[in-house]
Amino acid sequence: MIQPAADIPLIAAIAVAFFLVVGSALALIGAIGFVRLPTFYERLHAPTLGTSWGIGGVMVASMIYFSVASSRLVIHEILIGIFVTLTTPITFMLLARAALHRDRAAGSHNVPAKRASEAEERPSA
């Protein structure tokens, strides 16, 4: 049974509040950087703030809150944490490679050129 928030101990409430605010502040800073940074490759770094400890902070807050409020161990939020930390790098790598491919195809000089060994298309690509 979940108790109302008034009944949980003060120290747990402070911990929940701390992790919640830190996590969402990191997500917000990531979004600010995402709007402010000038080029695509720099912008790629900003959302990882939100997907590493932004997610981590909010999930830890949720775990503490539900564990204390229902007085048993509730850690299923860790699944979201693991899932997101494993999947975000994959999407970002795919997007970065797509962006490189498009920039090279457009003949941009701001990206490193394809090396000679990569000239022919590899089957694994």
Partner 1 sequence: MLPYPLLTISLTLMWLLLNGFTLGHLILGALVAVFASWAMASLRPDKPKLRKWHLLPKLFFIVLFDIIRSNIAVAWLILRGRSKNGRPGFLTIPLEIEDRTALAVLAVVLTSTPGSAWLEYDSYDRTILMHVLDVADEAAWIDTIKNRYEKLLMEIFA
Partner 2 sequence: MSAVIIYTAVAIAQLMLVVAMALASIRMFRGPRAQDRIIGLDTLYINAMLLLVTFGIGTGRVIYFEAALVIGMLGFVATVALAKFLMRGEVIE
The binding site for partner 1 (CB under 8 A) comprises 26, 29-30, 32-33, 36-37, 39, 41-42, 44-46, 48-49, 51-53, 75-76, 78-79, 85-86, 88-90, 92-93, 96-97, 100, 111-112, 115, 117-118, 122
Taking the complex as a whole, how short is the minimal distance between the CB of residue 66 and partner 2, in angstroms? 7
Taking the C-alpha atoms of residue 121 and residue 91, their distance in angstroms, rounded to an integer, is 21
Q: What is the separation, in whole angstroms, between the first and last Cα of the chain?
A: 51
- 55-114 residues near partner 2, rule: CB under 8 A: 55, 58-59, 61-62, 65-66, 69, 74, 76-77, 79-80, 83-84, 87-88, 90-92, 94-95, 97-99, 101-102
In sign, the C-alpha dihedral spanning 95, 96, 99, 105 is: negative
CA gyration radius for the chain? 21
Question: Using the rule CB under 8 A, is 12 a contact of partner 2?
Answer: yes
Taking the C-alpha atoms of residue 43 and residue 83, their distance in angstroms, rounded to an integer, is 22
**Which structure tokens are listed for 30?**
């990531």
- Residue among 16 and 23 whose Cβ is closer to partner 1: 23
